[in-house]
Structure 1
Amino acid sequence: MTLNSSLASRLAGWGLLVVLGLNLRPILSSISPLLGEIRQATGLSFQSSALLTSLPVVCMGLVALVGVRVEARLGERRGIALGLIMILLACLARWVLGQASALLVTALLGGAGVALIQTLVPAMIKREFHQRVPVAMGVYSASLMAGGGLAALLSPVVATHFQQWQAGLGVWLLPALGALLLWAWLPLGAARNAQVAPVFKGLRNRRAWLLALYFGLVNCGYMSLVAWLPAYYQQLGWGVLPSGSLLAFMTIFQVLAALLMPVLAQRGSDRRPLLGISLSAQAIGYLGLILAPQALPHVWVALCGFGLGACFALSLLLTLDHHRDPRQAGQLAAFVQGVGFLINAISPWLTGWLRELTGQFVSAWIVLTVTVLAMLLVTRLFSPASCADGPLTSN
């Protein structure tokens, strides 16, 4: 392999991480800034409309839990291609159809597509970027969050231009199509491996469950903020575009944290100090939303975004630390994401329920504050010595 071809191959790998990540959150975050128009057109209640965010996350969890079988049957190339096709079809259906039932079905379809990709990417990162895993995880996480922010910012703009809220949801078929074409053209991704994979024993391993619960709880604030942050500020008198732009502003700090914190993590093996900083930032941000939402809204949103962006990347990196072998690390990451996303799915539904019960969103921010403070204590358990290869799989 020549120097130029080697460099091109490496650039292709980094580029694919970016385009894959960009497609994994618009199916969620495009809903929130248009929620008022969607509810008016479809008659969905606050609690029912929360399903548009919760159902994709449920799919992410359920599909990730069978990630070992997905990888064995499809392989990375076909599995990720199928995921992109499902996202594309979900966005297309959202543009063409406008009924509540269609939105719920596309939430399931798009969520399953996102789940396929998220299940297969961590093992690919562990294999293809074995000397730069923290940085690669940061690039992937930052791209994922950037896609969510762009959707929150641009969906109302597209909807206004076409004078149709469906267009704001459906336009995200274009990046899915672009990613699918790029994925088919570039050679990254392993073919199906006929070799029998080790049997994952996560259901019987307390460490795997601890990692899964930790991943779910440190990241559950993202789903609540994506679903309800614009609605919260609209309730406080903000317009649709300004409230939606808050999610885009939050994404800037998510991306910065997802890039910066894994780079810092590359310098050592102890993830606890950086996780402690990230959880503290979340807690301060939620307290600001509770106590002074109008005073410094961008500060509180920035702190929430920084904490959430860092926690997503670092908690996945913490999971990959538990195995040197890419396939076994991928199996553990799939289990952790599966349980974690099922926990995440409860978050926007719970927020919507609390909003209908109390008439305001403050109670939800209180629950999130208590949760991240509790996770600060749990973080102490993840010493580098405890992350050595353990009995999570067997041949």
Structure 2
Amino acid sequence: MKNKKMVLVVFIVALNLRLGISSIPPLIGLIKQDLQLNNFQVSLLTSIPVICMGVMAFGVKRMQQQIGRDRSILFCLFILAMGTASRIIFSNYLSLVISAVVIGFAIAIIGPLLSSLIKEYFPRQTGLLIGVYSISMGVGSAAASRFSLSLADYSWPIALGIWSVLAIVAGVVWSFVMGKKTIQSSASITSSGFPLKKLQAWKMVLFFGLQSGMFYGVSTWLVELLVQKGFSRGEASQYLTIFVIVQMIFSFVIPVLMDHWGNTRRWILICGGLILLGVGCLLTNTLFLLISGIVLIGFGLGGYFPIAMLLPLQASEDPLEASLWTGMVQSFGYIVGGLIPILLGIAVDIFRSFNVFLYVMIILCSGILLLTIQGRGYENDEKSQSGE
């Protein structure tokens, strides 16, 4: 029964980890027009939280040492709710940037600590629980993509800030289920650190950063690409929702399959091939191929995110080590991933074409495939996919 409650906790907390970012792309056109922004400026609203998720993840160890994992997550859920709700009241550009920093900080702390919780309660079912983690984030992204534009009929600040309600609900559920837990000893936390000297960890960083950059690149610019191809903003937002739903489904299916069949390298190559095929479809103007491309990219990126989350859990031996490996991978990885949409925004302003983001996608995906093919990849294939 306790573990069933923990599955609920993982789901409800992870549900909030993309809402503050995924609610922006459907509203980019409205925000640009209302605040008179260019593509570079508006790209910061999705990139800043991601970069902050990287920079501020370095604080995971210190916060865990000071107040413990469980209280840290509860505190950050409160911060996440406040940062998101502030968008209703303060809707100028500077306030949106500040809220993006606050949201990025909260997600930066929650993510690695939630992975630590999974390692503690489900050491032999990490694939399944990372699937739950991933599909929950996907549900949040799909909801934000689907309903943000409709909520903007009231006002776009309300469409951005209303998602704070879910963070409040998550905080209540967390408090109810977790209760009073024993805090990890400061000594054990102090004696450990990021695995900075391990090549395996740096490969994971690159993989996490490149796949993150692709996901946030698609999330930020797919709607604008389709609008440029002649779709209405409403139709383009619906296709973004299709991408998110496909990504959500396979972010659950693939890690579950990995618990039973195949090694990690094989799944990375399969997903990468589908992404490249999907990007090729998006370079056309044929409706069937465009939809096929969106689905294929959703499939591939749906597999890449949970794989990126699983790799540090497979490399670690206990919950504390899992939080440190995950903290390092997400710290540097999200910095890389957050810079990519910014660079794409600059490139779009220069070349006046959203196709440029597709060419960058080809480069990023090819980089992952080359990194995977070289040497022994990210892990020992002899090690089972469940971390046993």
User: Same fold by TM-score, threshold 0.5 exceeded?
Assistant: yes
C-alpha deviation, 1:131, in angstroms: 1.8
Task: Name 1:274's counterpart in structure 2.
Answer: 267
Task: Name 2:173's counterpart in structure 1.
Answer: 182
> Are residues 1:326 and 2:319 paired?
yes
**2:56 corresponds to which of 24, 40, 63:** 63
> Are residues 1:109 and 2:133 paired?
no
Counterpart-to-counterpart distance in 2, 1:278 and 1:75: 37
**2:188 corresponds to which of 165, 181, 196:** 196
C-alpha deviation, 1:260, in angstroms: 0.9
C-alpha deviation, 1:223, in angstroms: 0.6
Task: Name 1:287's counterpart in structure 2.
Answer: 280
Task: Name 1:393's counterpart in structure 2.
Answer: none
Give unpaired runs (5+ residues) of structure 1: 1-6, 389-395
Contact 1:67–1:335 (CA under 8 A) maintained in structure 2? no
Look up the equivalent residue of 1:119 and give its one-letter code: P
Q: Deviation string for 1:36-94 (max 9, x for gaps)?
A: 11111112211011100111001100122232222222222111112211121112111
Task: Name 2:132's counterpart in structure 1.
Answer: 139
Q: Deviation string for 1:131-165 (max 9, x for gaps)?
A: 211100111011112211210111111111x2x11
Give unpaired runs (5+ residues) of structure 2: 384-388
Counterpart-to-counterpart distance in 2, 1:87 and 1:238: 34
> Are residues 1:225 and 2:240 paired?
no
Task: Name 1:169's counterpart in structure 2.
Answer: 160
Task: Name 1:249's counterpart in structure 2.
Answer: 242
Contact 1:77–1:191 (CA under 8 A) maintained in structure 2? no
Contact 1:287–1:366 (CA under 8 A) maintained in structure 2? no
Task: Name 2:303's counterpart in structure 1.
Answer: 310
Task: Name 1:94's counterpart in structure 2.
Answer: 87
Q: Deviation string for 1:293-336 (max 9, x for gaps)?
A: 64422211111111111101012212211122221122011100
Change in Cα spacing, 1:16 to 1:220, as seen in structure 2 (3 Å) is: same
Change in Cα spacing, 1:68 to 1:151, as seen in structure 2 (3 Å) is: same
Look up the equivalent residue of 1:338 and give its one-letter code: S
Contact 2:57–2:105 (CA under 8 A) maintained in structure 1? no
Moved more, 60-69 or 268-277: 268-277
C-alpha deviation, 1:27, in angstroms: 0.7
TM-score (norm 2): 0.93
Contact 2:77–2:170 (CA under 8 A) maintained in structure 1? yes
Change in Cα spacing, 1:228 to 1:338, as seen in structure 2 (3 Å) is: same
**1:356 corresponds to which of 315, 334, 349:** 349
> Are residues 1:16 and 2:24 paired?
no
Q: Deviation string for 1:151-194 (max 9, x for gaps)?
A: 0111111111x2x1111101101111111111111127954312
Contact 1:30–1:151 (CA under 8 A) maintained in structure 2? yes
Task: Name 2:123's counterpart in structure 1.
Answer: 130
C-alpha deviation, 1:119, in angstroms: 2.1
Task: Name 1:382's counterpart in structure 2.
Answer: 377
Contact 2:204–2:378 (CA under 8 A) maintained in structure 1? no
C-alpha deviation, 1:383, in angstroms: 6.6
Aligned sequence identity (%): 26
Change in Cα spacing, 1:356 to 1:190, as seen in structure 2 (3 Å) is: farther
Contact 2:229–2:285 (CA under 8 A) maintained in structure 1? no
Task: Name 2:362's counterpart in structure 1.
Answer: 369
Q: What SS does structure 1 have at the residue aligned with 2:243?
A: helix
After TM superposition, what 4+ stretches of structure 1 lie above 6 angstroms from structure 2?
Answer: none
Contact 2:200–2:378 (CA under 8 A) maintained in structure 1? no
Change in Cα spacing, 1:190 to 1:318, as seen in structure 2 (3 Å) is: farther
Counterpart-to-counterpart distance in 1, 2:16 and 2:94: 23
Contact 2:59–2:109 (CA under 8 A) maintained in structure 1? no
Look up the equivalent residue of 1:230 and give its one-letter code: V
Contact 1:34–1:240 (CA under 8 A) maintained in structure 2? no
C-alpha deviation, 1:95, in angstroms: 0.9
Counterpart-to-counterpart distance in 1, 2:328 and 2:181: 20
Change in Cα spacing, 1:293 to 1:369, as seen in structure 2 (3 Å) is: farther
Q: What SS does structure 1 have at the residue aligned with 2:196?
A: helix
Counterpart-to-counterpart distance in 1, 2:352 and 2:174: 46
Look up the equivalent residue of 2:108 and give its one-letter code: A
C-alpha deviation, 1:200, in angstroms: 2.0
What do you get for the CA RMSD once the two structures are aligned?
1.9
Counterpart-to-counterpart distance in 1, 2:31 and 2:299: 29
Q: What SS does structure 1 have at the residue aligned with 2:271?
A: helix
Corresponding pairs, count: 380
